[in-house]
Amino acid sequence: MIVVGVDASDSSLRAAAYAAGLARRQHATLAVVYVQPVLPAGAALGVPVTDTSDEIAESLAREIRTGAERVKDIFQVRWEFHTVRGDPYNGLVAAADALKADAVVVGASARAGHRIVGSVAIRLVKAGRWPVTVVP
């Protein structure tokens, strides 16, 4: 089982493409995981959090299904779409543990603050529970 974290960013979509190729070569199932934020900044402004994150999850699932349909004649990849709630790091850890991941693939963070606090990718690598591939 190859787990890939997606959040609609360009780097996460590149990670999904890389993970799909890896799953194809390994004859593994691809688990696409979207972590719905528990309390994003918009919640303080009255934006309905659940509705917004559910819309993002549905949009990602549609985009992945469309992509899978386009390439299904080229190669077959078994895939599943999962959503979990929480912060990205803990959500991916929980999903990877629950799905018994053989590897985790994530996109590199472009946020400047992650150089100080540490990105999700760095924290996953430091956890040392699975091989982690970070796609730029």
Q: What's the pLDDT tens digit per position in 11-63? A: 888 898 899 899 999 999 999 898 887 755 555 555 555 556 677 777 877 77
> Rounded CA gap, 18 and 80, in Å?
16
What confidence tens digit (pLDDT) does each residue in 37-47 have? Answer: 775 555 555 55
pTM recorded for the entire structure: 0.77
CB 46 within 8 A of CB 36: no
Residues in the chain: 136
What are residue 29's phi and psi, to 5 degrees?
A: -85, 140
Per residue in 77-126, pLDDT (tens digit) is: 888 888 888 888 999 999 999 999 999 999 987 754 444 445 888 888 88
Residue 13, CA distances (Å) to 49, 105, 109, 128 in order: 23, 11, 12, 24
What amino acid occupies position 62? Answer: R
